[in-house]
Every structure is written in C-alpha cells, then in structure tokens.
Amino acid sequence: MTAIKLENVYYAYEADEGETPVNAVDGVSLEVEEGSFVAVVGHNGSGKSTLARLFNGLLLPDKGAVTVFGIDTKDEKQIYSVRSSVGMVFQNPDNQMVASVVEDDIAFGPENLGLPREEIIRRVDWALEQVGMSEYRKSTPFRMSGGQKQRLAIAGVLAIRPKVIVLDESTAMLDPKGRREVMDVIHALNQKEGMTVIHITHYMEEVLEASRVIVMDGGKIALDDTPRNVFARGEELKKYKIAPPAVTLMADALADCGANIRRDIAEESELEDAICRLLCKD
Amino acid sequence: MRDIAFGQYYPVSSPIHRLDPRLKIIFTVMYIVTMFFVASYAGYALVLCFLLAVCLAAHVPPKAMFKSIKGIIILLIITAILNLFFYAGETSVEWTWWIFTVSPEAIDFALKMMFRLILLIMGTTILTFTTGTSELTDAIESLFKPLNLIKIPVRDIALIMSIALRFIPGLIEETDKIMMAQKARGADMESGNIFKRIKAMLPVIIPVFVSAFRKADELADALDARCYQASPKRTKMKKMSFAWRDLIAFLIFAAFVTLIFLDKYLWGGVDQYIVQAFQSLAG
Amino acid sequence: MPIVVQGLSFSYSKGTPFEKRALDNVSLTINDGEFVGIMGHTGSGKSTFIQHLNGLIKVQEGSVEVDGIRLTGAKRPKPDYKKLRATLGMVFQYPEYQLFDDTVIKDVSFGPKNMGYKKEEAEQMAREALTLVGLDPDEVGDKAPFELSGGQKRRAAIAGVIVMKPKILVLDEPTAGLDPYGKEQILNLILRLKAECSPTVIVISHDMDEITRYASRLIIFGEGRVAFDMPMTELFKHGRELEELGLETPTAVRMANALKERGVDLGEGIVNMDIFTAAVLKKLKERGVEVAEFNGIDWFGERNKKPVSSADVFGEGV
C-alpha cells in the first residue's frame, strides 16, 4: 500500500518584498510504500527539509497534492489524522521536549489526541520499550546524552502510534555513539514493527542502511534508486554536491588510477573482496 | 551561570513529589503570603526548620535548596545595603561614620528582609524541585478552570508557562556558551560602568534572542507534529485526586502557618521572651 | 612557542554536592606547526580542556602555558588575557550562532576593536580576514549576517576569529551540521588557514575517517584524562579500548586489518583512506599492474593541498 503520495508538488516560502519567491520544492512527484526505509539526501538548501514538512501537513503545497494513506493533507478536518499517522522527529532533541519528566513528555501526544488514561499509560510503556529507555521513565532528560534525548524524542512521536516516522536530520547533532543508538532504534522499528521510515541525513553510512535513497537538488528529485546504484553514479553525485561513504571513495580512487575495481562498491566486505581478487595469493 | 538550580526538577520519588500538584501550588502561594507575617527571628528559624523538614521528606538534599540562592546573591547584598543605610523608621541609637548612619533598628530590618528573601526563594524552589512541569501545567489549568468561562485560554497559558520553565536551563547554557565565544574574541564584560557593561552585553544578548526564536520555531513544529490541539478534550495521564496524604500535608502546613500568625498577633514576637529568659538566667 | 599543560585538573560546581570532575591530571605538550585532532565522547573533558587554553575557564589545579603566557590557579600575576586571546583563536561549535552585529564587516571587526584597534584599522583587518576565508568583502561586507547562506555564515564567523591572525587556531567540531560539500570546503579552509595564518591547529572532531586525513596527531580524551596520545599507527592497534571510549577505528584501518588476515599485508602506517589507497596501488605496481599517479582522494576536485600524512609515510612518488 502507498503510505505517502506526492503529485506534482510545488512549495515556495514567502519572499522579501521585491524578490520573486523561489520554489523550495519544485514539481516533485513520488510514492513511498508502506514498510519501506527511505533515505533522503541533498546539500543544504536542496529542499529536503521542506519536503519532510510537506509529508505531515506542517506545510501545505502551493500546487499539487500530498496524500497520506489516501487523505489529502489540505483537508483541514482530517489534518490530525494525517499528523497522527506521520510522526516527525527534528534535529535538536532539546527543542522537542515539552515536559521535565520523561513519562510526562511521552504522554503529551496521546493526551492531545484525547485518549483514555489507561491507553495513554499503555502507549507510554510501549514507546519507552521501543527505544530501550523504560528504566528512565521517572527521570528528567536534562542531563542525558544526546543519543538518549533523541531516543526519547522518538518515543514521544511513537506514542501517537504513527505508521510513518520522518526523521529530519535527527542524527546531525549527535556523536557517533548517539547516532548508532538512534539508527538501531529506527531499524528495529522498520523491521519488527513494519514502520515506514523516511530518514533525512548527511551521513552516507546511514544511507547505506536504507532500501531506497532519494537525492534532492534544487527542489527536485535528482536521483531515486537503491543506495548502491546511487553511489555508483559518481559524476552526477558531484554535481549534486554529495559524497559517497568512505568505502566507495576508496574504490572510486582506485578505479581512477587504473585498478580493476568496480565503482559501485558500498560495503567494506565488498571492497575487501575486490582488492583480494587483485592481490591475494591464490 | 550554570550553577543556577532554579526551575529544575529533582527526579526522585517521595511523599512530597506525590502530593497533589494543585495543593502544592496553593501551599506555595500561601507560604509566600505567610512570609510577610513572620515577626521574629525565632519565626524565621521556624520557617527554616520547616523547609528543611520538607526538603528531607522530599528526598532532596538541603544543599540543593541552599544553592538556589546563588542566583540572587547580588540582589540580596544590594537590598541589604540599601536597607541598612536608608532605613526610614524610628531609631533608638545611631552610629555614624563619615556619611553612613546605622542603627540597631536598621540592622534588624535589613537582616529580616534578607531572611525573608532567602526563604521565599528556597520555598518556591521546593515546588519546582518536586513538581514536574507537566504536573504544574495540569495543576494551573485545573486551578484556573473557571477563567475558561470568560474565554481565557487557560490550557495554552499553562502550557506556555511550563515550557518556559523547562527551557530556562537550556537558555542559561546557551548564554554561557555565547558569552565564552565572545570573550574568546576579546570582549570585556567585567569592567567599566553600568552603561558600558550593558553595551558590552549586546553581543551576547542578541545571539541568545536569535537562538531563543530558533528554538521556539522548532518547538512549535514539534508541538504541531505531536498533534497539539488535535482533540477539543485533552486527556491526562496522571490523575489528580485528593488522597489522605494531601489531608495530612494540609494539616501540617496549617499548623505551621498558625504558629507564624500566633507569633505575630498573640505573642508579639517570641524573641523578647527568649531574650528575657537568657537575661534572667544570666542574672 | 609550544603549548605546555601540566597536571591540569578541573571540577565543575567545586565544593557543592553537584561537584563533577571534568579534567583529571592532564599533562601534554603541543608544538608549533602541529595539526592536532582531539577526540572523545561527550563529557570526556575535551571541551573543558580547550576552554582552558585561552583562559575562558580559570585554572584550578596545575598550569597551562600558551606561547609564553602562563595560566595558573594563583591570583597574581594576572595573565595578559588580551594577548592570549589574540595569540590563540577559538572557534566554537556552530560559530554562526554568535554573529550579532548588523553587518558582516562590523561583526568580523569586533575582535580587533576589543583589542583597541581604531575602527578603520579594524575594518581593514576584517576585509583581509574575509578574503582569507574565501568571502569577497565587497560583496558580503555590508550585508547582514542572516542574509548569508549557511556555509557563508560559518566562514564569516571563522573570519571573526582569525581576524587577529592568531598563531594557534582551535576549532570545536568545525564541520558539525554541514553537508558533505560544506564539510570538505571548511576542512580545505582550515588547511589554508594553517598554511597562511595560523601554523598550529587544534580541531575537536567526532569523525575518525575525516580527522585522520588532516591531523598529524590524535589526542584521545576519556573520563577527563588523556586516554591516548601516541602515533596514530600505534593508536589504532588499540581498537578495542577505543571502542570502549565510544570511538571507532577509521574505515581504512579496519580494511587493512581485514586484508592482512587474508594474506595481503599493506604494511605499517595505514591510518587514513589516502594512505590505504596509496598502499593498495603500490602493491598493484609491484605486481606489474600499470597504475596512474595518485595524489590523494579528492572527490569534489577542490582540494588545494595534498592530504597531510600520505607523503610522510610513503615518501615521494606515491
């Protein structure tokens, strides 16, 4: 089933007086299948954050239509059913928490939905378990690590029981350990709970973990393929100001210097095999 | 700056934490009012003992409570000095040195004023130590529910207040960071007269404001994404209901307030009796 | 003159129940002309350490000496902070968040004005600094900082620090939050600044693959102490301990180790992807495969200088 569908969507932010508005999203059509793990990449200003905000109706398209499980995000009466099916996690975990006690913060979403008390408690339990933070239920997030805080922010979104979770550069401010924690959580959600994940990021190692990657450039979809196929298209990536992961960089450099190595290598073990084929004594 | 404890929640489980937050707010307001009726040093000592007892019952280390004064220490010193030298009431003896005049009454007044301020801050800190911002929101919303009738959006106001409280530590940290960055560029914020200093603070204040707006922007998106205002009937995870615990707390608090009022209106300040008792012992 | 730190210890909220030890007996020396990478997980003490270097945090125990200026816990003699801050420039995380003045040129000249330069002199220095970071002062000088793009803002903020031509430049996660192209540009800028203005560079980083390509020495902090300070080839033999400190070994090191197990020994000294690539090409050449000259990985084709350590290890002709 299609989770999110964009049909020829345009969006422009208001421009200063005397300036023509530039389309931040410029004629995008795309479908996201339920249960898929999609990465969105692109240089700063390529329109990817705008795209993310169109997915759950935080922004509404100027032209074209965004539908979430068949509901048009422009339908005012159903905006909250859109928002409760597409959860969104932002960049800075400190700016997403409303309460000073963990469980109160997670409960904020379900409380807004007007759910009965027992259901709220069930959801808080469930959400904390999903992110592996059950023991911190009564704690305060103030002194936690970035990774822990961001996992709580995810739990806060999970508690509204969305079918899709959008992460808008949610790993950008974390250290490698925190990034790993967040990636592990969203993988488990994708695989065990069948949740659709849309992950916007600058880290190409994270893109490798997705089943599909969309490259944005100038508000348009530049490439839309598997990570491997995308990373093999070196010249185009350079044009879109994107660099592939370290392994691909090395494979590409070796190929440039005349070594017989494929350029679409993305995993360490593949590069290892490729080099071994040339150098291992048989 | 990072030492300011105000607005922080102390995450432990205690009978005080479990009290009905509405009751805690009412207690705090009554406590603030009562502070203006303390008539004697013995009274201040009683208040301090009371706060220490509450602190212990709340499993909060008393040191944390004392730390809350750190933020207002300059204010304390300034008021103490002003009260000391510009005391306007009747005086019995006056000690004069150069242009300064001090009397025992002025000292008495300045001391009492300082105690009052210190105890006010410490008392209100206990509220934020033991009550999560979410509970505060719910409690304020519940207490001011009648205002809904005259179309005042109580829930929104309560949420704004509690979020503001939650953001204080983050903003202080941010201020700290920007201050360091500007100092590293040679900014001097510690010398010169007051106007110079205010001007010197601009390179800190402007970025902090910008940062606060940026935070607010992201927070607004986050609130929307979490379906804020989705349902006209917002529900609550935590039930607020009166328990035996609350009644006991009320009785203890009432006894405390009664003692303070008795001291002022019936006994006229017990200090005099204590002094007399000491004198008769000595004599 | 070098940076000499001896027995430096520091606790936050000292003497209160919230006391937290952030630095514990740190001693190290950083010589002129070094490019030092500092790594460690959040709370390892690395930020507290660099904040000591220009007196933003008062020394509690031990001493810090920067280019002959000595900082100790003693009240007197009062160190010359102005001179210190002109000698050691510090770029904080997300430096663009500190921009405050209404035009870029005014903002960049904030430092020199604080140091007592006249307005004209200060603005002339600001123009030079902007040019050095790759911004055209005529084009951006009179703009408001918020009119610049993300990458330009960061450059302008860096200009505001290097405007004093500090001999030592310290940067706390200078590429945080940037896209890959922006990162590459900032790293190239740092190399240029090192060559043209600040010979000693200290960078805090979380990205092992990135920092090993630029730094000639890594210092790893853990639990407030210097956990590792040794040549990189030695350091990466401690893979497991690094992992315990929340750090990974570079991809190139993992690859070289895996290949070694399969009988391909690329030799000692593989610490980054440039050296790894060079070593594989060298092996291929030995096998009689014709390979082209390799000058380091340069994806965007904008690198203005060869990667630091590739030639050091393999000599000419790699």
Please tell me the predicted confidence (pLDDT) of residue C125: 95
pLDDT of residue A282: 57
Question: Any residues with CB less than 8 A from the CB of A156 and at least 6 apart, and which?
Answer: A96, A97, A105, A106, A108, A109, A127, B226
**Residues of chain A contacting B232 with CB distance shorter than 8 Å:** 114
The CATH code of the domain that includes C125 is 3.40.50.300
Domains of chain C: total:
2
pLDDT at residue C15, rounded to an integer: 65
Q: pLDDT tens for residues B25-51?
A: 999 999 999 888 887 888 888 899 999
B6 has a pLDDT exceeding 70: no
Instruction: Compute the average pLDDT of residues C201-227.
Output: 94
pLDDT at position A126, please? 96
Beta bridge partners of C71: C64
Handedness of CA A50, A52, A57, A58 (dihedral sign): negative
The H or E element that residue B9 is part of is none
pLDDT computed for residue B2 by the predictor: 43
Q: Do C161 and B185 touch (CB under 8 A)?
A: yes
The subunits that touch chain B, with at least 3 C-beta pairs less than 8 Å apart, are: A, C
Bond from prior residue into A21 cis (ω within 30 degrees of 0): no
Average pLDDT of chain C, as a whole number: 89
Distance CA A176, CA C41 (A): 8
How large is the average pLDDT for residues A105-126? 94
- Residue found by looking up tokens 């005391």 in the block: B87
Identify whether residues C97 and C121 lie together within a single domain.
yes
Strands A23-33 and A2-12, sheet pairing = antiparallel
| Burial category of B105 from C-beta neighbours within 10 Å (exposed 0-12, middle 13-18, buried 19 and up) | middle
Q: C261 and C207: one domain?
A: no
Query: Which is nearest to C178 in space by CA: A149, A48, B219, A169?
Result: A169
Q: How confident is the model at residue C309 (pLDDT cuts 50, 70, 90)?
A: very low
Q: What is the average per-residue pLDDT within C62-72?
A: 93
Rounded to 5, what percent of chain B is helix, strand, coil?
70, 0, 25
pLDDT at B1: 37
Say what percent of chain A tops pLDDT 90: 78
Of C41, C181, C293, the CB nearest to A43: C181
- Position B103 scores a pLDDT of 79
Average pLDDT over residues A211-235: 93
Which range among A36-45, B150-159, C46-55 shows the weakest confidence by mean pLDDT?
A: B150-159
C73 with C179, same domain: the answer is: yes
Q: Is A124 helix (H, G, I), strand (E, B) or coil?
A: helix
In a shared domain, residues C275 and C216: no
> Both C33 and C132 in a single domain?
yes
**Mean pLDDT confidence for C248-261:** 93
* Residue among B169, B229, B237 whose CB faces A142 most closely: B169
What pLDDT does residue C18 have? 64
Average pLDDT of span B191-219: 84
Nearest Cα neighbor of B130 from B48, B30, B31, B25 is B25
- Considering only CB atoms, which chain B residues are within 8 Å of A157? 225-226
Query: Mean pLDDT: which of A53-57, B83-87, C313-317 is highest?
Result: A53-57
| Residues 6 or more apart in contact with residue C109 via CB below 8 angstroms | C119, C122, C123, C125, C126, C163
Q: Is the pLDDT of residue A209 over 60?
A: yes
Residue C295 has pLDDT above 60, yes or no: yes
Q: Which two tokens stand for residue A70?
A: 């068949």
| Model pLDDT, residue C16 | 60
DSSP chain C: --EEEEEEEEEETTTSTT-EEEEEEEEEEE-TT-EEEEE--TTSSHHHHHHHHTTSS---EEEEEETTEEEESSSSSPP-HHHHHHHEEEE-SSGGGG--SSSHHHHHTHHHHHTT--HHHHHHHHHHHHHHTT--HHHHTTS-GGGS-HHHHHHHHHHHHHTT--SEEEEESTTTT--HHHHHHHHHHHHHHHHHT-SEEEEE-S-HHHHHHH-SEEEEEETTEEEEES-HHHHGGGHHHHHHTT-PPPHHHHHHHHHHHTT----S---SHHHHHHHHHHHHHHTT----------TTS---S--TTHHHHH-TT-
Residues A233-246 have a mean pLDDT of 91
Bigger pLDDT: B199 vs C120: C120
**pLDDT category of residue B18 using cuts at 50, 70 and 90:** confident
Residues A114-136 have a mean pLDDT of 95
Q: Whole-angstrom Cα distance, residue A163 to residue A239? A: 34
Q: Which residues of chain A have a CB within 8 Å of the CB of C265?
A: none
In a shared domain, residues C193 and C255: no
Say if residue C318's pLDDT is above 60.
no
Residues C63 and C107 in one domain: yes
Q: Residue A143 has what pLDDT?
A: 76
Please, what is the Cα angle at C313 between C311 and C318, to 5 degrees? 45
Q: Tell me, what's the pLDDT at C307?
A: 44
Do C147 and C213 lie in one domain? The reply is yes
Query: How far apart, in whole angstroms, are the C-alpha atoms of residue C36 and residue C52?
Result: 16
The answer to whether A89 and A186 are in contact (CB under 8 A) is no
The stretch B80-98 carries a mean pLDDT of 74
Instruction: Encode pLDDT of C70-122 as tens digits.
Output: 999 888 788 898 899 999 999 999 998 889 999 999 999 999 999 999 999 99
CB contact under 8 Å between A243 and C291, yes or no, is no
Residue C317's pLDDT is what? 37
C276 part of a folded domain: yes
**Domain stops at, among C237, C263, C298:** C237
Whether residue C184 is predicted with pLDDT greater than 60 in this model: the reply is yes
Least reliable range by pLDDT among A195-209, B87-101, B217-231: B87-101
pLDDT band at B248 (very low <50, low <70, confident <90, very high): confident
Q: For chain A, list the domains and their CATH numbers.
A: 2-242 (3.40.50.300), 245-282 (no CATH)
Nearest to B199 by CA among C100, C130, C236, C56: C100
> Are C34 and C150 within one domain?
yes
> A208: phi > 0 → left, psi -120 to 50 → alpha, else beta; which?
alpha
**C286-292: long-range contacts, CB 8 A cutoff, minimum separation 24:** C287/A278, C287/A279, C289/A258, C289/A259, C289/A278, C290/A258, C291/A257, C291/A258, C291/A259, C292/A256, C292/A257, C292/A258
Provide the residue range defining the domain that includes C259.
Answer: 251-313
* Residue C232 pLDDT exceeds 80: yes
Taking contacts as CB-CB distances below 8 angstroms, the residues of chain C near A259 are 280-281, 284, 289, 291
What's the pLDDT tens digit per position in B127-185? 888 888 888 888 888 888 888 788 888 888 888 888 887 788 788 888 989 999 999 99
Q: Are residues C86 and C130 in the same domain?
A: yes
Q: Is residue C245 part of a domain?
A: no
**Domain stop point among C237, C266, C289:** C237
Instruction: Tell which of C189, C207, C237 closes a domain.
Output: C237
Lowest mean pLDDT among A1-5, B160-164, C165-169, C233-237: B160-164
Average pLDDT of the segment spanning C282-307: 81
Cα distances (Å, whole numbers) of residue B260 to A147, B42, B256, B268, C208: 50, 10, 7, 10, 64
pLDDT tens sequence across C143-169:
999 888 888 999 999 999 999 999 999
> Looking at residue B112, what is its pLDDT?
84
Looking at the whole model, is its pTM more than 0.90? no
Q: Touching check for A112 and chain B: CB below 8 Å?
A: yes
Report whether pLDDT(B192) > 80.
no
Same domain membership, residue C129 and residue C8: yes
Mean of pLDDT values over C220-225: 94
* Test the B interface: residue of C98, C162, C172 with most B CBs within 10 Å: C98
Residue A270 C-alpha from the chain's centroid: 26
pLDDT at residue C315 tops 70: no
Residue A71 has phi, psi (to 5 degrees) of -100, 130
Count of CB pairs separated by less than 8 Å, B with C:
64
Using a CB-CB cut-off of 8 Å, the residues of chain C touching A175 are 41-42, 206, 246
pLDDT band at C312 (very low <50, low <70, confident <90, very high): very low
Sorted by sequence, the CB contacts under 8 Å of residue A231 that are 6+ apart come out as A204, A237, A244, A245, A248, A264, A266
Look at residue B7 in the predicted model and tell me its pLDDT: 56
Residues C78 and C163 in one domain: yes
Look at residue C308 in the predicted model and tell me its pLDDT: 42
Residue C38: inside a domain: yes
Question: Are C86 and C164 a contacting pair, CB within 8 Å?
Answer: yes
Whether B88 shows a pLDDT value over 80: the answer reads no
A106-130 residues labelled b (16+ CB within 10 A) or e (exposed): bbbbbbbbebeeeebbebbebbbeb
